[in-house]
């Protein structure tokens, strides 16, 4: 599992770009930036859509005012779903919605959550991290899919 003081693992992430699907390397993407990364088990799922992400949308300006260059949301799904979910949440330009379509990022972070018993498959555990120049400086891990620690309010306390 990723730890405070370690570099973020390098893995493929995807987003819908102007000319199709853009592929990004997770570590390269966050290098030379201060980033808040929020990982969720699923786009359009109840806890993610009605509890966790609305807090980040509501507090985005305050988070970005703390010398944060970017807020990123990652889920194991495809980039088209992430774009649609971002639109439904009204994230605008404040939150970058990235897809971990193959689960490579969740696996590289050792934060996979197996929800196969619910018919969902392997997804990301729920967590929020602060990354400075590629290094994890704060890690709010839910240890699964619950929602207690990884809120926007708790991230603000760490910034």
Extents of the domains making up the chain: 12-158
Tell me the pLDDT band of 56, cut-offs 50, 70 and 90. very high
The arithmetic mean of pLDDT across residues 36-44, rounded, is 96
148 φ, ψ (degrees, to nearest 5) = -130, -45
85 φ, ψ (degrees, to nearest 5) = -65, -45
CA distance 73 to 35: 11
Mean pLDDT, the chain, rounded, equals 95
Tell me the pLDDT band of 121, cut-offs 50, 70 and 90. confident
73 included as an active-site residue: no
pLDDT of 99 > 90? The answer is yes
The pTM assigned to this predicted structure is 0.95
Selected residue with higher pLDDT from 113 and 130? 130
The arithmetic mean of pLDDT across residues 97-122, rounded, is 92
3-state SS of the chain is CCCCCCECCCCEEEEEECCEEEEEEHHHHHCCCEEEEEEECCCCCHHHHHHHHHHHHHCHHHHHCCCCCEEEEEECCCHHHHHHHHHHHCCCCCEEEEECCCCHHHHHCCCEEEEHHHCCEEEECCEEEEEECCEEEEEEECCCCCCCCCCHHHHHHHC
CA distance 59 to 38: 13
Q: What is the pLDDT of residue 49?
A: 93
Among 98, 69, 71, 101, smallest CA distance to 83 is for 98
CATH class name, domain 12-158: alpha beta
Q: What would the pLDDT profile of 61-73 be if each residue is shown by its tens digit?
A: 999 999 999 999 9
Q: Which of 13, 48, 75, 95 is catalytic?
A: 48
Which single residue is written with the structure tokens 């969902």?
120
């Amino acid at each position: 599992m990723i730890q405070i003081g370690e570099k973020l693992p390098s893995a493929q992430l995807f987003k819908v770009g102007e000319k199709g699907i853009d592929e990004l390397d997770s570590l390269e993407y966050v290098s030379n930036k201060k980033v808040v990364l929020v990982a969720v088990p699923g786009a359009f799922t109840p806890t993610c859509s009605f509890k966790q992400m609305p807090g980040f949308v509501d507090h985005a300006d305050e988070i970005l005012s703390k010398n944060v260059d970017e807020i990123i949301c990652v889920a194991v799904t495809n980039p088209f779903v992430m774009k649609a979910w971002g639109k439904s949440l009204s994230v605008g330009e404040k939150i970058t919605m990235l897809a971990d379509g193959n689960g490579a990022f969740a696996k590289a972070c050792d934060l996979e959550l197996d929800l196969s018993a619910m018919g969902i498959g392997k997804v990301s555990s729920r967590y929020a991290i602060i990354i400075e120049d590629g290094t994890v400086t704060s890690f709010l891990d839910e240890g699964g899919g619950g929602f207690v620690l990884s809120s926007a309010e708790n991230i603000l306390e760490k910034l």
